[in-house]
Amino acid sequence: MSFEALGLHASLVKAVAAAGYTKPTPVQEQAIPAGIAGRDLLVSSQTGSGKTAAFMLPSLHKLAGAEPTQATRTPAQQAQSARARGERVRFTPAQPKMLVLTPTRELALQVTTATEQYTTDMRRIRAVSILGGMPYPKQMQLLSKNPEILVATPGRLIDHMESGKINFSELEILVLDEADRMLDMGFIEDIEKIVAATPATRQTMLFSATLDGVVGNMARRITKDPQTIQIMSATNRHENIVQKVHFVDDLSHKNRLLDHLLRDESLDQAVVFTATKRDADMIADRLNIAGFAAAALHGDMHQGARNRTLDSMRRGQVRVLVATDVAARGIDVPTITHVVNYDLPKFPEDYVHRIGRTGRAGRNGLAISLVNHAEGMNVKRIERFTKQLIPVDVVEGFEPKRAAPTRSASRPGWKPGDGRSAKPGQRSFSKPGYGAPREGGYGDRAPREGSYARPADTRPAESRYADRGPREGYAPREGAPRTSYGDRPQREGGYRSAAPREGAPSGAPREGGYRGNRPEGARREGGYAKSAHPRSADGARRTFGDY
């Protein structure tokens, strides 16, 4: 199927052809026609599958077909007219037609760049980015042009909404890109506030790695009769990316191995992921001293510095980018061939998005994780999430002192992600490290020689315990056997008796009990009764309120 067959505007078909798109990806084939029809969409697809074009192309098609409003002037034109009349210039809020929310600045800039590419022949449509870290005067200048498309991160957008710089009364399309990531970053309250400020007649498109849990609950609240599109599940992700684990002994071993891996002749560009911003700066400095063209990218950098670093990466001036997870989503550089996890991510979902920086749009890639021996459990969590066994590799001359943990992929009958468990018939995903189920389960195995296992009893169940006598050292209880709680004989010295106590009327408390007719102020010997309290004239005990 071609883009023209999807029903796109002629200018958009020309733009995607100029961008090198030959045919739509699976997510685009389903999302573009539904988006053109005006349906709300809930889309789950893998990283690098063309999601930006999947929501931007149908939206641009809708905006291209809209009739231009001649009477409406931009805020800049209104300000110029006010100055000519000698009036005080007041800022007029921007009224965008489309809003795209993204979790990170890098992803917002990527969406804006792609939109500018798609609108090469659409002069009436402008797209701007409103991001944290960008100077306010620059953003005010962009908003003064009243752009049709606004791409923003939630935090900075809320600032402009509260100051009256943006009005969503004319909004037609709302897109939430990487919705699961925005919720992970704590933007759920901001998102709900933004959605509440938009018209109920809008078209909503939500893109996320998962559509269940908190994301699913929010999606049901903000959409109307959505069409759900799930292109590829987590179990089938990144077949074109070779994944490896290298175990390391210590930090020195890890640094020497990283230096060796980055000198691979097949490496074009690489991204090295670290857990902290400080490590990103330190490793980038160390790699530059070692002769690599390296640069750091993390959240503490000014937005201008981050943009320059990414531009240098795209131009090929930076060969190794050392980044924190802020760069795991939003970096789209086709020439990235290697991804190295210097530190494993906290969550398995972040691992998927990290390695997705390579192997973009069907290309091949290599993802390597440098793992300390104590982090083996984290590797297993990732394997359970991706339902793929990550093979352990060893580089000659950089072998770890400790042997790598034994893996079970070689056991007969086991393969990653085949859904089998240790017991036949049990429906669960295979856990890495477990082999094929034992034929016949666990019930047919014989006891080990010399063990404490009890030999099997082949007698019928009804006669199995018939001849069992009392255990040695235990005498049977005197009296009739207990048949039920109601007719059992009273134990001597028991707690209660069915018969009245001797010398007391039926139901009377025992002598010295907790209630009864003991003398006023008397105290049970050794008990916990309160000391005597004076009573009022009518004989009633005084309460706490009387004191």
Same domain flag for 152 and 243 = no
Token pair 């049977």 is found at 476
Q: How far is residue 224's CA from residue 174's CA, in Å, rounded to a whole number?
A: 13
Helix locations, 465-542, DSSP H: none
Please write the tens of the pLDDT for every residue from 191-249: 999 999 999 999 999 998 778 788 888 888 999 999 999 876 444 456 788 999 999 99
Q: Which of these three, 365, 386, 407, is where a domain ends?
A: 386
Q: Assess contact for 466 and 459: CB atoms under 8 A.
A: no
pLDDT at 371: 93
Ranges of residues in the chain whose predicted pLDDT is under 50: 67-73, 82, 89, 233-236, 409-447, 451-453, 480, 482-485, 497-498, 504, 506-507, 509, 512, 514, 516, 527-537, 542-547
277-289 and 251-261 helices, crossing angle to 10°: 60
Same domain flag for 119 and 34 = yes
Same domain flag for 124 and 78 = yes
Same domain flag for 266 and 342 = yes
Same domain flag for 295 and 375 = yes
Same domain flag for 148 and 190 = yes
Question: DSSP states of 394-407 as a string?
Answer: --TT---SSPPPP-
Q: In what order do the strands lie in the sheet with 98-101?
A: 127-130, 149-152, 98-101, 173-176, 203-208, 41-44, 227-230
SS3 at position 363:
coil
**How many CB atoms within 10 Å of residue 184?**
16
pLDDT at 413: 37
- The DSSP letter of residue 23 is S
Domain span including residue 185: 4-232
Residues forming beta bridges with residue 365, ordered by sequence position: 241
Q: Assess contact for 524 and 532: CB atoms under 8 A.
A: no
Q: Which token pair is 538?
A: 């009518």
Question: Could you tell me the pTM of the whole model?
Answer: 0.56
Is 472 a member of any domain? no
Same domain flag for 272 and 186 = no
Pairing of strands 269-273, 241-248: unpaired
Q: How far is residue 152's CA from residue 132's CA, in Å, rounded to a whole number?
A: 9
Q: In a 10 Å sphere around its CB, with 0-12 CB exposed, 13-18 middle and 19+ buried, how is residue 117 labelled?
A: middle
Domains contained in the chain, number:
2
Is 334 a member of any domain? yes
Q: Which token pair is 159?
A: 């600032």
Q: How far is residue 146's CA from residue 390's CA, in Å, rounded to a whole number?
A: 50
Handedness of CA 120, 122, 128, 129 (dihedral sign): negative
Is 277 a member of any domain? yes
pLDDT at 547: 41
How many helices and strands, by DSSP H and E, does the chain display?
15, 13
Output b/e per residue, 351-388; b: 16+ Cβ within 10 A: bbbbbbbbbbeeeebbbbbbbbeebeebbbebbebbbb
Residue 204 belongs to a domain with what CATH number? 3.40.50.300
Same domain flag for 207 and 353 = no
Same domain flag for 272 and 357 = yes
Same domain flag for 177 and 289 = no
Is 453 a member of any domain? no
Three-state DSSP string of 267-304: CCEEEEECCCHHHHHHHHHHHHHCCCCEEEECCCCCHH
Q: Assess contact for 105 and 131: CB atoms under 8 A.
A: yes
Helix locations, 150-270, DSSP H: 154-162, 179-184, 188-196, 213-222, 251-261
Q: Which of these three, 215, 232, 249, is where a domain ends?
A: 232
pLDDT at 437: 43
Same domain flag for 226 and 244 = no
Is 250 a member of any domain? yes
Same domain flag for 261 and 317 = yes
Is 246 a member of any domain? yes
Is 458 a member of any domain? no
Q: Which of these three, 369, 386, 403, is where a domain ends?
A: 386
Distances (CA, A) of 498 to 481, 488, 506: 18, 10, 10
